Amino acid sequence: KAGVTQTPRYLIKTRGQQVTLSCSPISGHRSVSWYQQTPGQGLQFLFEYFSETQRNKGNFPGRFSGRQFSNSRSEMNVSTLELGDSALYLCASSLGGLQGSGTQYFGPGTRLTVL
């Protein structure tokens, strides 16, 4: 069974631009969660989608948004990029989501650099 895939793996943008990241979960998984990982703050929860509905949201500004499609693939969008948005963005999929007891499987991440 294929694992979680994220595209692109690397991305360089400039301040003020917007970016869209994509995550394809493991087949059959209905939950996709997104995390931001930086050296200073570690892994921080952005949001979770389950069956196309946002179920939980972390403490990030409204510039960070996401959506999930009927095939469970998810996209995350960041608008008006700031230097501080440079990070590794990870998505994780699971069968039952964060409120269930299922294991979270992480993708390799997208490394975003904002210049």
Partner 1 sequence: TQLLEQSPQFLSIQEGENLTVYCNSSSVFSSLQWYRQEPGEGPVLLVTVVTGGEVKKLKRLTFQFGDARKDSSLHITAAQPGDTGLYLCAGSGYALNFGKGTSLLVTP
- Residues at the interface with partner 1 (CB under 8 A): 4, 33, 35, 41-45, 48, 56, 58-59, 90, 92, 98-99, 101, 103-109
Q: Which is nearer to partner 1, 33 or 72 (CB)?
A: 33
Q: For the CB of residue 15, give the shortest distance to partner 1 in the complex, in Å.
A: 26
Closest Cα partner for 2 from 109, 111, 112, 105?
Answer: 105
Distance of CA 50 to the CA centre of its chain: 13
Q: Which is nearer to partner 1, 16 or 43 (CB)?
A: 43
Name the maximum alpha-carbon separation found in the chain. 39
Task: Classify residue 99 as exposed, middle or buried by CB count within 10 Å of its CB (0-12, 13-18, 19+).
Answer: exposed
Q: How far apart are CB 100 and partner 1 at their closest, in Å?
A: 10
Nearer to partner 1, 7 or 41 (CB): 41
